[in-house]
Chain A
Amino acid sequence: MNDAIWAGTISVAGHENAELEAYLARPLGEEPRGGVVVIHHMPGYDEASKEIVRKFAAHGYAAVCPNLYSREGAGVSPDDQAAAARAKGGIPDEQLVGDVAGAAAHLNGLDHANGKIGVIGFCSGGRQTFLAACSLQIDAAVDCYGAFVVNQPPAESGMKVTSLLSKAPDLSSPLLGLFGADDSFPGPEEVAVLAAELEKLGKEHEFHTYPDAGHAFFAVDRPSYRPAAAVDGWKKIFDFYGRHLSA
């Protein structure tokens, strides 16, 4: 078995052909494999996001995380890019969809790609994963505690974010949702509304809400980390992608 991987910074063409910095990791083996687009959280394109990309490659997928804040300037540190993007109210949904489409196309253009694409996102990236899965043809989506899929954000937030519930009929793939019972964004009631809507629409989904876990329970570098939830969550993610991203 060859478990070696390659990982490093590349460029991908995003929305309206914008050049985006991106972090790619892929196995060096010759086996056909699915691709995973990783959508980073609101604090930006950070070390933790790159670690997640490498984790997927170590499990046999080609994975890429586009820096959604690339437009804030090359050579600008990711935390400054994130602060600048936040001050502008975040990134437009249309731009996000174009960026994910570009990242997915890049993965499908790699040697040994089997044509299957998964998307996963954390925090604001969880909402954006749902958006991408309702806007693009993908094969498996994983929403990790994304807020404002159902509820509108507070009016005073200034964020360019709206509820996505009306897009649910367009969900193109099975959806795995991983949530913390102690989270408020999204709170358990928001998760329940989304589950009921997907049930009503006959959309394949699998939601898990972990007790004693709040927002960002996967984040190993933050006090919010909850090992029991994160370990089981990763198992569920790889099981889910194993079923849906195989050739």
Chain B
Amino acid sequence: MCTYLTQKIELDGAAKGAAGWFTLSDGAVYVDHPYHATHEHTLNIDFTNPGEGPSARVAVELTEEAALALVEAIQKALAAAPPGLASGAHARAAS
């Protein structure tokens, strides 16, 4: 099935795509058919910067288990660091 459901988020950071590093501005998260992974459905994440064109994109297609493990790993990594260490507000204040 095509879920058609897309969670869109604003992102602040950088990603390395086919043409090298670019600044991230947007993300999309959705469960749907993958383009490349050989599963019927995957959790897909697009890290993008529409301002730099459609090719400014890093695409990830994960199984449900892998996606949940990623979420948990992100939360553990953040919890293990001092609060606010990687905060965008912190970075801006320091610069």
- Chain A residues with CB under 8 Å of chain B are 42-44, 46, 72-73, 76-77, 79-84, 86-87, 123-124, 147-148, 153-154, 156-159, 161, 183-185, 214-216, 222-224
- Chain B residues in 8 Å Cβ range of A154: 4-5
Report the minimum CB–CB distance from B42 to chain A (whole Å).
11
Q: Decide: B2 and A215 in contact? CB cutoff 8 A.
A: yes
Chain A nearest CB from B90 CB (Å) reads: 28
- B28's closest neighbor in chain A, by CB? A87
Q: A157's contact among B5, B40, B53, B55, by CB below 8 Å, is which? A: B5
Instruction: For B6, list chain A residues within 8 Å (CB).
Output: 86-87, 157-159
Knowing A81-B54, A223-B38, say if A161 contacts B59 (CB, 8 Å): no
B residues near A161, Cβ cutoff 8 Å: 4
Residues of B at the A interface (CB closer than 8 Å) are 1-6, 8, 18, 26, 28, 30, 32-33, 35-36, 38-40, 46, 48, 50, 53-55, 57, 59
Residues on the B chain within 8 Å of A214, using CB:
1
Q: How many A-B residue pairs have CB under 8 A?
A: 83
B-side interface mostly:
loop
Contact A83 B33 (CB under 8 A): no
Known: A87-B48, A216-B33. A80 touches B4 (CB 8 A): no
CB neighbours (8 Å) of B2 from chain A are 42, 123-124, 147, 185, 215
Q: Which of A82, A153, A183 contacts B35, CB < 8 Å?
A: A82
* Cβ A87 vs Cβ B4 within 8 A: no
**B36: chain A residues within 8 A (beta carbon):** 79
State in angstroms the CA–CA spacing of A87 and B49 once bound together. 11
Contacts of A185 in B (CB 8 A): 1-4
* C-alpha spacing A56/B50, complex, angstroms: 36
Q: A46-B35, A147-B4, A185-B4 are in contact. List 8 more A-B contacts (CB 8 A).
A: A42-B32, A42-B33, A79-B35, A79-B59, A83-B48, A86-B30, A161-B4, A215-B1
Q: In the complex, what residues of B have CB within 8 A of residue A124's CB?
A: 2
The 10 closest A-B pairs by CB, nearest first: A84-B54, A80-B54, A223-B40, A185-B1, A215-B1, A157-B4, A79-B35, A72-B54, A184-B1, A76-B54
Q: What's the nearest-Cβ distance from chain A to residue B52, in Å?
A: 11
Q: A43-B33, A72-B54, A76-B55 given as contacts; is B46 within 8 A of A87 (CB)?
A: yes
Q: A124-B2, A157-B5, A184-B1 are in contact. Are A87 and B59 (CB under 8 A)?
A: no
A3 and B5 CA atoms in complex are apart in Å by 43
